[in-house]
């Protein structure tokens, strides 16, 4: 058990090949835009396409909105539950895990059927899109914030602050939030990674975003979509990498995966 | 030849020496405890006997057979772990019978042995419970039964009670001792709790920084500690740096006052500095009847500990503790009061550095 | 951990005292109604965008075109061959990738955690698994098309080495097996992510206790380690099953509608009018919700078993 084991290395190498071969392939493919030579031409083309920036910009906007709404909903709720309604915590946790029960396609289907016809018409604004993304972010956001809160003994801290005469604003801003920074950042990076590449909601609700854009030009052109896949991977790598780096050492930060 | 011989073993990890020149002979049916602070090498020594670590040097011999290089699963020594280490996926019966099962004994024999052991640990009828349904004390009893199931030559206990509440600890240590004596099994008991070691062992091995400091019966370890470390670690202690005045008549000087000891000072020259120790309960306030040794002191603090009252006094530069039995009709010393301390010759212990 | 008896007690006594008399002097700190107000936004949001849509799917599954109650839709998804085929395809791909991903993921986690690897390799593997398990959808599909598609790297290598034309041999990656290979990319890292802490949770003392009682390394795995890990392994495989079952983007970008999965059918329902019957789409979605619920219950059950054993 102490010495490196041949079989362990064998499995690891197989795993690494499986992991890296597709990445290498798509990267190699993206370099072959100019016949007979490797070049970054595809990347140049991708980056000079104004549509790329507008779609990427839309995705950024959706990510920003999603993160804001998700934080506003999850952080106060999680805090409140820890401090005043610990009985309700399992219920909240159950709700945040619902995206695993109701896959994105099914949820979109239900949302459209419910809100795209009278009496309620929400289809003209991105409300449904953001709502869908927020639901999608619940498991990650709640888990991160919940572990953060659990690690700091909310009741004692809040009661101590109250007994010293602090108001609610002060408690949240000076006591709870600084202790939750790592947890919140983790939630933000994960949500960001998910929303930036998301396809299902954006495509089915017909909103411009990076994911559907990639799919669209993938059907029309070669090389540039592959270049974008590489960019997208780097983006995921960066946000998850940051998430792991920030959350290192913090207990219980392992994540659950979403529906793809 | 002793039943279990640990011959001069040493164990070093990468750069640190965990155990050095450990030499001990254990007789059949004896319970020996290894006592010391954490990191003193007591657990490492135990794990060497169990075979979980390999010795860097030295030999371990059980009943005349050298087991130094045997793998742990062929040694037939039973081990009780600190945090129970019961298999969570097996019932109590499954845990106790596990050793017999992997040794391919017939099912009826296992069943009978499990019942017998459950009787021994006073938990009859609980064979079908799972560890997570038991209290800590019960889990540790099951762990003991599991370790005894194969009739091991030696039973090893690695701080078995440290995860339990104080009350259960006292009850369980009595039970462990009773079972050990009933079965006449040879046992090594590792602990950092001096009270535990003193109360249940035939002999205590006090360890410090990988070495043996002193070996002896509990009575001897407590009353005649040989080194400052032992005196300090086992019980509370008042230590003094004293000067030898007369090595023939055993007279020393502390704080400018002469005191006599019952121990001989023949090994020292007049004028040598030695460490001496006096247990708090050997000191008393002189109320008329004086003993050989006397010291003037001022009362600094009085702490009521229930059965005893601990008085902190000052003599010159030094702070001392004096323990007296609680007596509701006796007047307690008052803070600031000047008193005479008195103690016998026998109370003065000479420590080796 | 979730229950706090002290606070519960306070809330209970408050509720009782409120019933008894309207005391104006009571402190607002333990006002029961107030506390519930704090979680109202969250519950309202969940109601509007999670429960109502799901519930409406259930209701509409039993409605005909005119809105009347009917079992027609349910009967249709149980009898119509297109739909049965879609469920079969979705179920097979989920089973294949759950078992395959579970198996290889476990081996990889074992290799990294207990295989005597350097510490850095383990950190790298866990981080990378975090990325890979989230790297799905369109870019993943592109990556695999570039690997084993018609002009893919592997395809070209094989054609160059064996001097054959894979395409003309009728070989296609746009099948259930091809898609399974793609899905495995996010399935088995997920297994690694969940199994790594579980393998870490195997206590050294268990192995030592087993050795001490005469057990061999094989007996340790057979009687102790494997049974302890089994609920986690099964639970995670159920999770993988659900993960594959609900996947849409990857399949859509990879094979368009070559492979008719349930999710692809539902997506088509949203975008157009393939089945001409909205009730049928609802019933399709209902089937998914039911299967996913069963998965979650299975997973929760296994989790409970593990958490009882390993603390």
Query: Using one digit for the tens of pLDDT, what is the confidence trace for B51-78?
Result: 999 888 899 999 988 988 889 988 889 9
Please say if the pLDDT value at position C23 is more than 70: no
DSSP SS3 for B58: strand
Q: How confident is the model at residue B131 (pLDDT cuts 50, 70, 90)?
A: very high
**For the residues C176-190, what does the mean pLDDT come to?**
90
- pLDDT at position A248 is 61
- pLDDT at position C25 is 44
Nearest Cα of chain A lies from the Cα of C276 at a distance, in angstroms, of 14
Q: Is residue A173 part of a domain?
A: yes
| Of residues C239, B139, C84, the one with CA closest to residue A258 | C239
Partner residue opposite C270 with nearest CB, options A18, A108, A135: A108
Question: Cβ-count burial of A14 within 10 angstroms (0-12 exposed, 13-18 middle, 19+ buried)?
Answer: middle
Rounded CA separation B31/C212 (Å): 20
Rounded CA separation B250/C42 (Å): 84
* B132/C213 Cβ within 8 A: no
For A238, the domain range is 43-259
Q: Is residue A16 part of a domain?
A: no
Rounded CA separation A192/A240 (Å): 9
| Of residues C300, C290, C133, the one with CA closest to residue C231 | C300
Interval C216-255: pLDDT, tens = 999 999 999 999 999 889 989 998 999 899 899 999 988 8
**For the residues A146-171, what does the mean pLDDT come to?**
84
Averaged pLDDT of chain B = 88
Predicted TM-score (pTM) of the model is 0.80
CATH architecture, domain defined by C55-307: Orthogonal Bundle (1.10)
Q: Name every chain C residue with its beta carbon within 8 A of the beta carbon of B149.
A: 213
Q: Is residue A253 part of a domain?
A: yes
- Is residue C307 less than 8 Å (CB to CB) from chain B? no
Tally the C-alpha atoms within 13 A of residue A258's C-alpha that lie toward its C-beta. Answer: 33
| Domain count of the fold of chain A | 1
ipTM > 0.90 (yes/no): no
- pLDDT at position A119 is 67
Q: Name every chain C residue with its beta carbon within 8 A of the beta carbon of A236.
A: 131, 134-135
Q: Is residue A169 part of a domain?
A: yes
Q: Is residue A209 part of a domain?
A: yes
Q: Is residue A30 part of a domain?
A: no
- pLDDT at position C275 is 53
Q: How confident is the model at residue A3 (pLDDT cuts 50, 70, 90)?
A: low
Most confident of C5-9, C18-22, C128-132: C128-132
Interval C285-299: pLDDT, tens = 888 889 988 988 888
Please say if the pLDDT value at position A259 is more than 70: no
Interval C145-154: pLDDT, tens = 888 887 788 8
Helices (H), chain B: 42-50, 92-102, 107-120, 136-148, 166-183, 194-200, 218-223, 228-233
Strands (E), B51-104: 57-62, 65-66, 77-80
Interval A56-86: pLDDT, tens = 899 999 999 999 999 999 998 998 898 888 8
Instruction: Choose the mutation target among C6, C138, C148 for the interface with A, i.e. most A CBs under 10 Å.
Output: C138
Interval B7-61: pLDDT, tens = 889 998 888 889 989 999 999 999 999 999 988 889 999 999 999 998 888 999 9
DSSP secondary structure letters along A67-121: HHHHHHHHHHHHHHHHHT-GGGHHHHHHHHTHHHHS-HHHHHHHHHHHHEETTEE
Please say if the pLDDT value at position C14 is more than 60: no
Q: Name every chain C residue with its beta carbon within 8 A of the beta carbon of B101.
A: 223
Q: Name every chain A residue with its beta carbon within 8 A of the beta carbon of C46.
A: 95, 98, 135
Rounded CA separation A30/A227 (Å): 5
Query: Residue A85 is part of a domain; what is its CATH number?
Result: 1.10.3720.10
DSSP SS3 for C99: helix
Please say if the pLDDT value at position B149 is more than 80: yes
C-alpha distances (whole Å) from A244 to each of A67, A188, A190, A238 are: 18, 12, 10, 10
Q: Name every chain C residue with its beta carbon within 8 A of the beta carbon of A26.
A: 139, 142-143, 146-147
Q: Is residue A7 part of a domain?
A: no
| Partners of chain B (3+ Cβ pairs below 8 A) | C
Q: Name every chain C residue with its beta carbon within 8 A of the beta carbon of B90.
A: 223
- pLDDT at position C274 is 54
Nearest Cα of chain C lies from the Cα of A145 at a distance, in angstroms, of 15
| Chain C (219-278) residues lying within 8 Å, Cβ to Cβ, of chain A | 239, 242-243, 245-250, 252-253, 263, 266-267, 269-271, 278
* B102/C211 Cβ within 8 A: no
- Residue B244: beta bridge partners? B252
DSSP secondary structure letters along C200-234: HTS-HHHHHHHHHTT--HHHIIIIIIHHHHHHHHH
Rounded CA separation C35/C43 (Å): 13
């Amino acid at each position: 058990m102490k010495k490196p084991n041949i079989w362990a290395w064998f499995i690891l190498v197989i795993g690494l090949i499986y992991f890296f071969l597709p990445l290498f392939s798509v990267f190699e493919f993206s370099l072959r835009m100019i016949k007979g030579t490797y070049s970054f031409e595809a990347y140049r083309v991708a980056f000079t396409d104004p549509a790329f920036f507008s779609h990427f910009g839309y995705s950024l906007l959706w990510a920003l909105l999603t993160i804001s709404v998700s934080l506003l909903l999850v952080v106060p709720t999680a805090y409140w539950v820890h401090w005043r309604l610990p009985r309700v915590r399992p219920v909240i946790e159950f709700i945040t895990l619902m995206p695993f029960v109701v896959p994105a396609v099914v949820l979109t289907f239900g949302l459209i059927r419910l809100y795209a016809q009278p009496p309620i018409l929400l289809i003209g604004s991105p409300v449904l899109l953001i709502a869908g993304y927020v639901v999608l972010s619940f498991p990650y956001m709640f888990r991160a914030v919940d572990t953060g809160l659990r690690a700091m003994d909310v009741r004692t801290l809040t009661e101590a602050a109250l007994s010293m005469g602090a108001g609610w604003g002060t408690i949240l801003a000076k006591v709870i939030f600084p202790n939750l920074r790592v947890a919140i950042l983790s939630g933000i990076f994960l949500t960001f990674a998910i929303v930036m590449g998301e396809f299902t909601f954006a495509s089915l609700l017909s909103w411009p975003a990076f994911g559907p854009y990639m799919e669209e030009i993938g059907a029309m052109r070669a090389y540039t979509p592959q270049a974008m896949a590489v960019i997208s991977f780097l983006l995921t790598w960066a946000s998850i990498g940051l998430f792991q780096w920030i959350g290192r050492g913090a207990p219980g930060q392992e994540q659950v995966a979403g529906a793809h | 030849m002793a039943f279990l011989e640990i011959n001069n073993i040493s164990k070093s990890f990468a750069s640190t020496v965990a155990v050095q020149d450990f030499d001990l002979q254990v007789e059949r049916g004896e319970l020996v405890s290894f006592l010391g602070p954490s990191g003193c090498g007591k657990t490492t020594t135990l794990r060497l006997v169990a075979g979980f670590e390999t010795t860097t040097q030295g030999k371990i011999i059980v009943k005349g057979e050298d087991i130094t290089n045997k793998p742990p699963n062929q040694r037939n020594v039973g081990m009780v772990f600190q945090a129970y280490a019961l298999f969570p996926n097996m019932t109590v019966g499954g845990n106790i019978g596990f050793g017999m099962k992997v040794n391919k004994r017939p099912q009826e024999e296992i069943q009978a042995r499990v019942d017998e052991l459950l009787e021994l640990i006073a938990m009859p009828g609980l064979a079908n419970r799972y560890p997570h349904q038991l209290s800590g004390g019960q889990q540790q009893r099951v762990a003991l039964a599991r370790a005894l199931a194969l009739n091991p030559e030696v039973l090893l206990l690695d701080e078995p009670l440290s995860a339990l509440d104080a009350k259960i600890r006292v009850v369980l240590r009595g039970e462990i001792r009773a079972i050990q004596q009933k079965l006449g099994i040879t046992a090594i008991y590792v602990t950092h709790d001096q009270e535990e070691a003193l109360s249940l062992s035939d002999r205590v091995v006090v360890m410090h920084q990988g070495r043996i400091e002193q070996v002896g019966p509990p009575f001897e370890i407590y009353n005649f500690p040989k080194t400052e470390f032992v005196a300090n670690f086992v019980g509370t202690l008042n230590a003094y740096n004293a000067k030898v005045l007369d090595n023939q008549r055993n007279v020393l000087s502390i704080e400018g006052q002469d005191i006599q000891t019952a121990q001989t000072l023949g090994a020292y020259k007049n004028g040598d500095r030695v460490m001496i120790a006096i247990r708090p309960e050997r000191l008393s306030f002189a109320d008329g009847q004086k003993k050989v040794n006397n010291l003037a002191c001022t009362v600094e603090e009085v702490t009521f500990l229930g059965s005893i009252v601990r008085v902190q006094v000052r003599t010159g530069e030094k702070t001392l503790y004096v323990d007296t039995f609680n007596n509701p009709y006796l007047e307690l010393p008052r803070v600031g009061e000047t008193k005479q301390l008195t103690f016998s010759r026998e109370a003065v212990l000479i420590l080796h550095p | 951990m979730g229950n706090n008896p002290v606070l519960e007690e306070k809330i209970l006594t408050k509720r009782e005292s409120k019933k008894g008399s309207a005391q104006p002097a009571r402190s607002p700190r333990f006002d029961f109604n107030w506390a519930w107000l704090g979680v109202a936004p969250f519950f309202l949001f969940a109601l509007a965008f999670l429960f109502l849509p799901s519930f409406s799917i259930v209701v509409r599954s039993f409605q005909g075109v005119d809105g009347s109650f009917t079992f027609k839709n349910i009967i249709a998804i149980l009898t119509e061959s297109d739909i049965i085929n879609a469920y079969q395809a979705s179920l097979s791909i989920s089973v294949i990738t759950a078992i395959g991903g579970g198996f290889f993921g476990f081996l990889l986690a074992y290799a990294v955690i207990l295989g005597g690897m350097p510490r850095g390799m383990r950190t790298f593997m866990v981080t990378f698994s975090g990325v890979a398990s989230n790297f799905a959808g369109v870019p993943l599909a592109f990556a695999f098309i570039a690997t084993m598609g018609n002009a893919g790297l592997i395809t070209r290598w094989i054609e160059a080495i064996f001097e054959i034309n894979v395409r003309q041999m009728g070989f296609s990656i746009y099948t259930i097996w091809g898609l399974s290979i793609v899905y495995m990319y996010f399935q088995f890292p997920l297994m690694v992510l969940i199994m790594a802490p579980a393998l870490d949770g195997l206590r050294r003392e268990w192995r030592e206790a087993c050795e001490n009682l005469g057990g061999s390394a094989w007996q340790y795995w057979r009687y102790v380690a494997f049974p302890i890990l089994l609920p986690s392994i099964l639970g995670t495989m159920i999770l993988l099953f659900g993960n594959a079952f609900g996947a849409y983007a990857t399949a859509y970008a990879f094979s368009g509608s070559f492979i008719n999965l349930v999710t692809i059918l539902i997506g088509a329902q949203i975008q157009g009018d393939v089945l001409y019957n909205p009730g049928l789409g609802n019933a399709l979605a209902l089937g998914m919700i039911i299967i996913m619920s069963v998965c979650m219950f299975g997973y929760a059950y296994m989790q409970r078993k593990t958490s009882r054993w390993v603390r």
